[in-house]
Chain A
Amino acid sequence: MDAVLETRNLMKHFGALAVANDVSLTVDQGARHALIGPNGAGKTTLVNLLTGALAPNAGRVILGGVDITGEPQHRRVARGLARTFQVNQLFPGMTPLESVALSVAQRRGTTGRWWPRLTRDGEAIDEAAELLDRLRLLDCAHEPTKNLPYGRQRMLEIALALALHPRVLLLDEPAAGVPEDESVELYATLAELPQTVAVLLIEHDMDLVFRFARHITVLVAGSILVEGPPEKISADARVREVYLGEADHG
């Protein structure tokens, strides 16, 4: 399969601490790829290096065959790289419909236009409403986001990224803090994502990881320990030791 997103020998250190140490990762087109590892393994740092929120000390990031290492965040998004956040980054005073319409407008490149009315660009709003319907958020389309239950907010977090029509979707612990029954529902929605979207998922809950992912990379102390299909990962003695062993305690 073709790679849609790659890193080559990516390095990032904060002082003497290496948070990404020679990371070469390949995400295939349409992948369901999970990135796991104990706390402090550098998973979120890696996401920040991919999106351009952080600049690497060395190494390259390649999206769809193009070297994007030096590109600012917004250029990468335009190329099809979208992310969600582990801690909600929503627009508290805006409604879900407004928020998603904003995201759609951004994808369509109209947020710089101050003369045409948003409401005349009916397609953007229709598309936003349609997406909310698909994610079962339509009934709260006009509530201020800050009044929504937490599980709904997590779903909106994903909706904002999906509205960008990404080629690669980086999900940073989408179910963080969501009660179990709701997190199953959330993953059921994620399972319906089209195959044109490659998903790179960070997740702590091993049940969810093994249910969703078809490829897993284990990151420990900033380096890739092992990667492969779920069967290989669950059978790997080192992984059991550093990661699954620890999960038993938690």
Chain B
Amino acid sequence: MEAGRSVMTADHKLRYAPEADRLKAGASWRPPEVAFWLLAVAAYFLLPRQLVLLSRVAIMGLFALSLDLILGYAGIISLGHAAFFGLGGYAAGILAQHGWGEPLSGLVVGGLVAALVGFATSFLVLRGSDLTRLMVTLGICLMLFEVANKLRWLTGGADGLQGISLWPILGIWSFDLYGRTAYGYSIIVLFLIFLLARRVIHSPYGLALRGIKENERRMHALGTPVARRLVVAYTMAAGLAGVAGALLTQTTQFVSLDVLSFGKSAEVLLIVVLGGSGTLYGGLIGSLALIVAQSLVSGISPEYWQFWIGIAFIALVFLARGGLMGLARGALTLLHVRWHGRETPSGG
């Protein structure tokens, strides 16, 4: 009896172990991911005249990544994510203006200030439905905008924060006009934070966030303290947005009210949706697509570029569900079917 039983267990294990292993392999790096980052490095050498633009792409990509963490994974919709971008930007700027121009600590301060405010406001945001969340996030961002506008002595008001000067990074690399240091710095910070975000979404906590987005009611029934999980996600996303804001301040050595504007919140939301939410890379691809398109189209049609961008955006939403990442994935599957005559084994 005992012997028979253990044979059965062994059989059993043979059956389920491969399926378990397939999920365990899901977090490993895929070739397109490696290619993406190699291209980002190559851009430094191949496109020396575009580095100022590409720094902006990296920074907006980081900002979008932070929004994707709450929008794409936890399912929290925000129309005021610029609040944290702006807070981080102003914190780093004010610090540098007052004589502490060390960039790395400036990033940390920007991130911490934003995370702190994110934590404090998370309790307001996480109550209620999507619509309430939209209104509350929007409201908080508008309030911060007005506060920054009024506190001229601190923020420079509508003129922006002037007189920011930064020390060289690690005492070695000073910021230059061509954006060489700015791009290297931005892309390294982006990559490190990307690693962190990737780690988070592949953790048990990340799975729980997806669960909350998919079915919050069931998560309660599984015994997950849902509110606590969301507070952590919101705080984390706020902090990362703050780092992105600080990075913008440091690389441009200027902060204007624009960083706290409704337009900024809308732009980052647009980038995430354009790239494909819940994919991690969506924000980066979306940022690249939007900023490059803006720069190209505004060169061709300086007066009406927003019109063309608008049309492209509407077309994309209708033609490609899941954004550019969805489009790319669809194309890959199609190619795979062409070549192998069947769908990819890894549907995800």
**A interface, CB within 8 angstroms of B:** 51, 53, 72-78, 82-83, 85, 89-95, 97-99, 101-103, 105-107, 110-119, 121-122, 124-126, 128-130, 132-133, 138, 141-144, 160-161, 164
Contacts and interface: CB of A to CB of B under 8 A. Distances in A.
Interface stretch (B12-20, B142-150, B299-307, B313-321): B12-20
Contacts of A76: 223
Interface stretch (B156-164, B206-214, B268-276): B206-214
A218 B345 CA distance: 50
Given A90-B215, A119-B202, A114 B20 contact: no
Interface of B: 12-13, 15-17, 19-20, 22-27, 199-200, 202-208, 210-211, 214-215, 217-218, 220-225, 228-229, 232, 236, 346-348
Nearest to B28: A119
A114 B228 contact: no
A105 B203 CA distance: 10
A137 B202 CA distance: 24
A210 to B, nearest CB: 28
Contact of A92 (B214, B222, B228): B214
Tell me the dominant secondary structure on chain B's binding face.
helix
Contacts of A160: 218, 222
B24 A106 contact: no
Contact of B221 (A73, A118, A130, A142): A73
14 contacts: A74-B220, A83-B221, A90-B215, A91-B210, A98-B207, A101-B207, A106-B208, A106-B222, A111-B224, A114-B236, A117-B203, A122-B20, A126-B16, A129-B20
Contacts of A116: 203-204
Nearest to A111: B208
A132 B17 CA distance: 11
Given A98-B210, A121-B204, 4 more contacts: A90-B215, A94-B211, A106-B224, A138-B16
A117 B232 CA distance: 17
Contact of B229 (A111, A115, A126, A161): A111
Contact of B19 (A75, A113, A121, A132): A132
Contacts of A122: 20, 24
* Residue of A114, A116, A122 ringed by the most chain B CB atoms within 10 A: A114
Contacts of A143: 347
A110 B222 CA distance: 13
B15 A133 contact: yes
B347 A105 contact: no
* Residue of B12, B15, B19, B229 ringed by the most chain A CB atoms within 10 A: B19
A118 B203 contact: yes
Contacts of A126: 16-17, 20
Contacts of B202: 117-119
A124 B217 CA distance: 22
B221 A89 contact: yes
A111 B204 contact: yes
B19 A111 contact: no
Given A112-B228, A125-B20, A141-B19, A102 B223 contact: no
Nearest to A80: B223
A144 B348 CA distance: 9
B235 to A, nearest CB: 11
Contacts of A117: 27, 199, 202-203
Contacts of B23: 95, 97-98, 101, 119, 125, 129, 141-142
Contact of B211 (A102, A115, A129, A161): A102
Nearest to B278: A93
A69 B348 CA distance: 42
* Residue of A82, A105, A119, A144 ringed by the most chain B CB atoms within 10 A: A119
